[in-house]
Amino acid sequence: MDEKTRLIHARRRPGPLARTVGPPIQRGSTVLLPNAAALYGEALGYGRAGLEAQFALMDALNELEGGIGAQLYPSGLAAVTGAMLAVLKAGDHLLVADSVYRPTRQFCERFLGRYGVEVDFYDPLLGAEALMALTRPNSRLVVLESPGSLTFDMQDAPAIARAARARGVLTLMDNTWGAGLLFKPLAHGIDISVQALTKYVCGHSDLFMGCAIAADPKIAALLKDGVHQLGWSVAAEAAYETLKGLRTLAVRLDRHGQSGLAVARWLAQQPEVTEVLHPALPGARGHDLWARDYSGACGLFGLTLQPAPKAAVDAFLDALKLFGLGFSWGGFESLAIGSDHQMGIRQFAPSLAGPLIRLHIGLEAVPDLIADLRGGLDAFAAAR
């Protein structure tokens, strides 16, 4: 045969793969089938649905979430929007917590409306019965996020799940803060648990991945069909890296949680700080629900400063040396953002005593982080 042909077909015939600790990273769009009959048979026929590394991650996520048929998406936001599109149709009514992740809100406002889905935002502090009073005959889905983005409002997820199910309304919870470990949505009756694995599961601020999962086979089938119809696919390398993060999630999260609480306790005693928004802190808003439902905390929380002009808040942020200024969270490093800029779109924002800051506490030593924050607060006080 011609060299051109030989170069294309020369290959080592794969034998049984050596068994490594992690799954093999198989790269393939085309899956070669054994014979003509198999082309349209039951066997996996195309790589978009995933290969070994993606399947290994799905299995581990089923284990983490206590569900079946975990679906992967190329980002956390894609998981939220993909899961919604999988269960909603034109004419449906959707209820969304006012404290959801801002891009989730924008998807509901700007995108779902074009497809004939009616959206209402609700106060995340509403009890289950008051929330059910907002449902209509065409209500299909209630979206929860707890603790909510930026303000860390705690929702009574088990009560909402029970009340919604009694009315035949589905529930979807964005459980990124709980990282699949600290709170178990499916065990508390939520129909669809969604997570931005980008955050704690990946853990290194270098990768996007999302998942959605259900316990009910019918809902799991809808999620799977949605991924198939919309054409989502994730790379084997990304799935491998995510699984690698999942293996150490419990120890990292434990450290993030303990360090976060230590910093939160210290902040609560500083004169420049008016409130710490951390549900695991005794006396904080939402603490009772957190204590009832959660097995721990992550490293993400909020705080308000004394009333001050934006320049003083910027002076606080700019004086920080260990805390990077940047979005996202869940990596090994500490981060800070000012949140006031994002609060304007809220309909039911809690009343806050001053400018709102969000901190992510990384894996650095707590005394170093505290010293850095003290420097920031000094700069804030000087600029106020």
Ligand X SMILES: *Cc1c(COP(=O)(O)O)cnc(C)c1O
Q: Is the peptide bond before 158 cis (omega within 30 degrees of 0)?
A: no
* Joined tokens for residue 166: 């009694």
Q: What's the min distance (Å) between Cβ of 49 and ligand X? A: 20
**Is residue 276 a contact partner of residue 284, using CB atoms and an 8 Å limit?**
yes
Phi, psi of 107 (to 5 degrees): -60, -45
Looking at the Cβ atoms of 161 and 196, the one nearer to ligand X is: 196
Q: Is the Cβ of residue 76 or residue 350 nearer to ligand X in the bound state?
A: 76
Residue 48 annotated as catalytic: yes
Nearest distance from C-beta of residue 210 to ligand X, angstroms: 6
Catalytic residue among 73, 98, 101, 293: 101
Please report, as ranges, the residues that interact with ligand X according to CB under 6 A.
75-77, 80, 101, 145, 149, 174, 176, 196, 198-199, 208, 210, 328
Residue 73 among the catalytic residues: no
Q: What is the largest CA-CA distance in the chain?
A: 82
Instruction: Report the residue number, 157 or 273, with the smaller CB distance to ligand X.
Output: 157
Nearer of residues 53 and 298 to ligand X, judged by Cβ: 298
- Terminal C-alpha separation, the chain: 80
Residue with tokens 């088990």: 158
Q: By C-beta, is 100 or 164 nearer to ligand X? A: 100
What are residue 360's DSSP bridge partners? Answer: 300, 335
Active-site residue (options: 105, 140, 184, 199): 199
179 with 144: CB under 8 angstroms? no
Cα distances from 32 to residues 19, 44, 45, 48, 321, in angstroms, run: 22, 10, 8, 14, 53
Q: Which of 71, 79, 108 lies closest to 194 in space, CA to CA?
A: 79
Q: Least distance from C-beta 294 to ligand X, angstroms?
A: 16
* Strands, sheet with 335-338, edge to edge from the N-terminal-most edge strand: 273-277, 300-305, 356-360, 335-338, 324-325
Smallest gap from Cβ 307 to ligand X, in A, equals: 27
Cβ of residue 95: shortest distance to ligand X, in angstroms? Answer: 17
Q: Residue 80 or residue 238: which is nearer to ligand X going by CB? A: 80
At 359 the three-state DSSP class reads strand
At position 37, the amino acid (one-letter code) is A
Is 244 a known active-site residue? no
> What gap in Å lies between CA 54 and CA 69, rounded to an integer?
12
* CB 80, min distance to ligand X, A: 6
Q: Is 346 a catalytic residue?
A: no
Catalytic residue set: 48, 101, 174, 199
